[in-house]
Chain A
Amino acid sequence: MTSSLNPRFTFETFVVGPANRLAVSAARTAAENPGASYNPLFIYSASGLGKTHLISAVGARARAVAPELRVEYLTLEEFVDAYHAAVAAGQGEAFRKRFTDVDVVLIDDVQFLAQRLETQAELLRLVSHLLEQERQVVLASDRPPREIEQLDERLITQFAGGLVVDIAAPEFESRLAILRRKADERGVDFEQAVLSAVAEYEARNVRELLGLLNRLIAFQAVNEGALTVDGARTLLGLEIALADGAPDAPLEAAAGAARPADEFADFLDSVGTALARQVEVWRRRIQESVEYWDGRGYRTARLERLLDEETPAGAEQAVHAYEADVERLQALEAEMAELDSARAGDPIFRDPERLDDAEAAVQAAREGQGPPPGPAPNLTFATYVETEGNRVALTAARSAAATPGTLYNPLVIAGPNGVGKTHLLSAVAHELAGRPDAVVACLSAQRFLDEYVDALDRSRLEQWRTRFRRVTGFLLDDVHLLALKPGSQQELFHLFNALGDQGHQMAFTASGPPDTIEGLDERLVTRLQGGLVVQLPAAAREVRHAVARRELEQRLGATDDAVIAYLAEQPDPSLHTLIEVVQRLAQELEASGESLGLGLARRVVEGDAAAVARPARRSRSSGIVLSPLAGVRSPEKVVWRWPHVGDRLIEDWR
């Protein structure tokens, strides 16, 4: 297959001009350092502008630089034929193996992938494999990847991951250079002016240009005497409007007419351009780098500022430093994608000037520095109703919050469902969070468990741990939910020790005193009991009154003493049940359009509502019953996501 590289197609015979300089430079780099950069290299251009020449030159150069390299050049058609033949012969695997130890693969005419889904899949597999092995892939096409009909998105992404570069039609100088070179190759001499005249014609591609040259050569071969400019133009039928200043321009007509108004300014411009291009090689280097990285979505302001400077010193180093920073950003972005995929697309990963920010963001993500979960906003001491029954617990909570880590550490609030444990715990959390430099975590044991399983699942245990070990206050609701969860208990045990050593305040709620909770590890029980355990009795009547009033005000924006009294006197003492009733009342009011009244409340509590099947208890945390429609605002009360069975198995095994 390598024999099909045309020996005439080398970099030496390729005329480089502004229209193809980038492509040639990329191709040369790819040839001299296969697989190291610009991989895959995708070259596209209109027909006849040198794609095949360039892609072949890559092969030739690669072999010249390192003769031991295996180079495969094939057109897509050959690729398809070979693949089909291999599949037909049941040798699909052999076909794949053929490429496994090739160092440079050159595939021409990739545009024929259009609508060939099977070939696309095979090519995708091949290119992925080669890229993994850091083998160089160069592709040529007559259109950019996006414009190849029905091209697999994955291929488009893969091509875009390297360098996609185009070749434009040659400008006058390049056309002239090509003509001269070709004439030389053919051993034919033309007058300079004749070639200039032909070059003036804006040929759409090199083949057309060479077609014109061939006609001149043929004509000159059968005629004596050199071809003149006029003769050439007549022969080729070109209506070439020769540029002002060309040797044979109609001088008297053109004298002064087509010249720019300010010839000197025009001259200065062209000298400036030439200077920038020729003298300031460093500028060109920077500009190329700017174009390259800008095209890949990176901010290049840092490089652009260099262009405003006047010393070339250090330009190369500056570009290297910039590219090193971009590489670092790419690595950071990849790491961030692992840690927190939602933040991987952050613009800081596209701006080398913000490398420090990117480092910090990734470091933060590494440390799990996303803020730990906090308490529900409205559950504060201010909204807590003090009664005879809860006074001890409330006082203890206030004291613990006022002197964190010293007086009652940990504080354990025990009691049945719906007596206000969570409220009290959250109130402590709010107090603690109000202290300077405080970082307070307040969450349900269920969430603690969920996060732990998730961290296990994503191998981010260290980050997760760090996130909690940096808090200054740790408040865990419903610690009894960790019963029979040895893994989570172990985590809590270590966390407890770490925070306790640092004197940080901890508080817990539980369904009863720690030693009464079955399935809780002894070492945890003793630690929980090492501080203060307070009991919250069933909510007293005045508490239920106050909560009923508060809930009605919050949810309905209205109160009715009779309704409040009726709700507070219900036999079920749980505040959660009370809150749920108010929720249902709110729904009913909204649905019926009635105004708040005792009749409606009765109907909700005893009447229709009783007939309607009670909504299933979806959460078993503090006993808050979630109505399927009404939202409970406290996120840590809601189990949004149950662990998968598999995760629970991991848990059980530990």
Chain B
Amino acid sequence: MSLVNFTTREITCKIVYYGPGRSGKTTNLQYVYGRVPEDRRGRMVSLATQTDRTLFFDFLPLELGSISGFTTRFQLYTVPGQVYYNATRKLVLQGADGVVFVADSQARQLDENLESMQNLQANLLEQGIDVRVVPFVLQYNKQDLPSDLILPVAELEEQLNFRMVPAFGAAAVSGKGVFETLRAISERVLRKLSEEQSG
């Protein structure tokens, strides 16, 4: 997708929050939504099931205003984490400029994390996106849970971060790590952009 339009002076970044069900992707978006001044946020679209799980996807458009002369828009998406919504995930993943993988730090969720990670790679591959070059960061969410329930960051790193991408501990409910993650993925997306521009 065309990320930067120099003619209309617009930058649009699509960032997809990926991860297993109930890992906190929507919570991330909600926290961001809560911090955005009203004039800057579009309507957060959330299609949820009756049990409050994301059925289709969340969509949060952020109007960052004019930055360096560019009208800058970030579009944050989440995918439904549940295994059986893979078609939706592929759809949402289309044209993503960057991906945040929100992992659940709970020890018992490790397999789900791994499975979702593999699913992400498969889906990216299917769309011809090179997983090695797409801007990508990890978030180990729910680090605020009791330590006997969660895996230490070092172990999560070992299990999930074999690409040595930036990783952040987080507690999305309280907002811990949410903006750090968003900032990291934004910077990487923009850096990639400059490489494409100069390349």
Contact = CB atoms under 8 A, between A and B. Distances in A.
Are A and B part of the same complex? Answer: yes
A251 B176 contact: yes
Nearest to B192: A278
B193 interface: yes
A248 interface: yes
Q: Lowest 8 A-B CB distances belong to which pairs? A: A310-B69, A245-B180, A278-B194, A247-B153, A251-B143, A278-B190, A274-B187, A264-B35
B35 A263 contact: yes
A192 interface: yes
A636 to B, nearest CB: 62
B68 interface: yes
7 contacts: A180-B164, A191-B157, A251-B144, A263-B178, A264-B37, A274-B191, A311-B6
A272 interface: yes
A148 to B, nearest CB: 38
A117 interface: no
A263 B35 CA distance: 7
B193 A278 contact: yes
B175 A263 contact: yes
Interface in B147-164: 152-154, 157-158, 161, 164
B168 to A, nearest CB: 5
B68 A279 contact: yes
Contacts of B179: 259, 263-264, 266-267
Interface string A173-197: 0000000100000000001110000
B157 A192 contact: yes
Interface residues of B, number: 48
A335 interface: no
A275 B153 contact: no
B193 to A, nearest CB: 6
A263 B178 CA distance: 10
A607 interface: no
Interface string B110-140: 0000000000000000000000000000001
Interface of B: 4, 6, 9, 11, 32, 35-37, 40, 64-65, 67-70, 72, 140, 143-144, 152-154, 157-158, 161, 164, 167-171, 174-180, 182-183, 186-187, 190-191, 193-194, 197-198
Contact of B174 (A228, A255, A309): A255
Interface centre among A192, A229, A247 (most CB of B within 10 A): A247
A281 interface: yes
Contact of B168 (A247, A259, A271): A247
B64 A271 contact: yes
A245 B175 CA distance: 11
A248 B154 contact: yes
Contacts of A309: 69
A267 B187 CA distance: 10
A226 B154 CA distance: 10
Contacts of A268: 64-65, 67
A266 B36 CA distance: 11
State the main secondary structure of chain B at its contact with A. mixed
Contacts of B72: 271, 275
Given A255-B144, A271-B67, A247 B190 contact: no
A249 B154 CA distance: 12
A271 B183 contact: yes
Nearest to A226: B158
Contacts of B158: 191, 226
Contacts of A245: 168-169, 176-177, 180
Contacts of A274: 186-187, 190-191
A449 B183 CA distance: 77
Nearest to B179: A263
State the main secondary structure of chain A at its contact with B. helix
Interface of A: 180, 191-193, 226, 228-229, 244-249, 251-252, 254-256, 259, 262-264, 266-268, 270-272, 274-281, 283, 309-312
A147 to B, nearest CB: 37
A271 B40 CA distance: 15
Given A192-B164, A271-B186, A275-B70, A228 B154 contact: yes
A256 B173 CA distance: 11
A264 B40 contact: yes
A251 B67 CA distance: 32
Contacts of B32: 264
Contacts of A276: 67-68
A99 B177 CA distance: 59
A365 B172 CA distance: 73
Contact of A270 (B4, B140, B183): B183
Contact of B176 (A256, A264, A277, A281): A256
Contacts of A191: 154, 157-158
Contacts of B152: 248
A265 to B, nearest CB: 9
A271 B179 CA distance: 11
Nearest to B62: A264
A259 B157 contact: no
A277 B190 CA distance: 9
A270 B174 contact: no
A279 B154 contact: no
Given A191-B157, A264-B36, A267-B179, A252 B144 contact: yes
A247 B180 contact: no
Contact of A267 (B65, B170, B182): B182
Contacts of B6: 311-312
Nearest to B167: A247
